[in-house]
C-alpha cells in the first residue's frame, strides 16, 4: 500500500486550508466541500490539530486554520501522522516482508518507480499541490 483513504483525506483538507489562511473553516464546511464523512473528518481534524499542522478554534465562528506555511508542509509529514507502519516504500501490502526479514520477490523490481514516488512524497509540499 502506498497511502490509504484517511491520508488522502488529510492531504485534501490541508490543501483546502492552505487556500483560506485567513479565517477558520468549520468541519461542516470542509465535509461538504470535500465530500468527506463529517464524523470521520472531525477525528482526522483533531489529530491534525494535536500534531500542530492546524490550529483549532472552538465555539461559534470556530473552525480550523492551517498552522504553517503550505510550502513547509511535506506530503510525507501528513502521511506519517496517519501511518503506523515504518515507512517502507513497498508495492506489496506487507511491509514486514521488507528489511531484515527479507523482502518479497517484487521488491527489487520497480525499485526506481517506488523510489521516485517516495521521493516525491518527501519533496512535494502542500503549497505546490494547487499549482
Partner DNA sequence: TTCAAATACTATACAAAGGTAGTAATTAAA
Partner DNA sequence: TTTAATTACTACCTTTGTATAGTATTTGAA
The residue ranges that bind ligand FES (CB under 6 A) are 90-92, 97-98, 103-104, 106-107
| Contact assessment for residue 27 and residue 47, using Cβ atoms and an 8 Å cutoff | no
Considering only the stretches 25-33, 44-52, 61-69, 97-105, report the one whose residues sit in contact with its own copies under the rule CB under 8 A.
97-105
How many whole angstroms separate alpha carbon 1 and alpha carbon 98? Answer: 13
CB atoms < 10 A from the CB of 45, how many? 23
What grid cell was written down for 90?
513497498
| Contact assessment for residue 50 and residue 83, using Cβ atoms and an 8 Å cutoff | no
Q: Which does 103 bind (CB under 5 to 8 A by kind): ligand FES, its own copies, DNA, none?
A: ligand FES
| Contact assessment for residue 41 and residue 5, using Cβ atoms and an 8 Å cutoff | no
Site string for DNA, 40-79 (x = CB under 7 A): x-xx-xx--xx-----xxxxxxxxx---------------
- Pick 67 or 97: Cβ nearer its own copies: 97
What grid cell was written down for 46?
483533531
Tell which one of 59, 84, 105, 131 touches its own copies (CB under 8 A): 105
Instruction: Based on the shown chain and the rule CB under 8 A, indicate whether residue 93 belongs to the binding site for its own copies.
Output: yes
Q: Which does 74 bind (CB under 5 to 8 A by kind): DNA, ligand FES, its own copies, none?
A: none
What grid cell was written down for 44?
482526522
| Contact assessment for residue 57 and residue 63, using Cβ atoms and an 8 Å cutoff | yes
Q: Which residues here bind DNA, judged by CB under 7 A? A: 4-6, 9, 26-28, 37-40, 42-43, 45-46, 49-50, 56-64, 82, 84, 93
Amino acid at each position: 500500500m502506498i497511502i490509504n483513504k484517511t491520508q488522502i483525506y488529510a492531504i485534501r483538507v490541508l490543501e483546502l486550508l492552505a487556500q483560506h489562511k485567513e479565517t477558520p473553516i468549520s468541519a461542516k464546511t470542509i465535509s461538504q466541500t470535500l465530500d468527506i464523512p463529517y464524523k470521520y473528518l472531525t477525528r482526522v481534524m483533531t489529530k491534525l490539530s494535536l500534531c500542530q499542522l492546524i490550529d483549532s478554534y472552538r465555539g461559534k465562528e470556530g473552525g480550523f486554520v492551517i498552522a504553517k506555511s503550505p510550502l513547509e508542509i511535506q506530503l510525507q509529514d501528513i502521511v506519517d501522522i496517519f501511518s503506523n507502519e515504518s515507512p517502507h516504500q513497498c508495492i506489496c501490502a506487507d511491509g514486514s516482508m521488507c528489511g531484515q526479514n527479507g523482502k518479497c520477490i517484487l521488491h527489487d523490481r520497480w525499485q526506481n518507480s517506488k523510489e521516485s514516488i517516495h521521493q516525491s512524497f518527501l519533496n512535494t509540499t502542500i503549497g505546490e499541490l494547487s499549482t
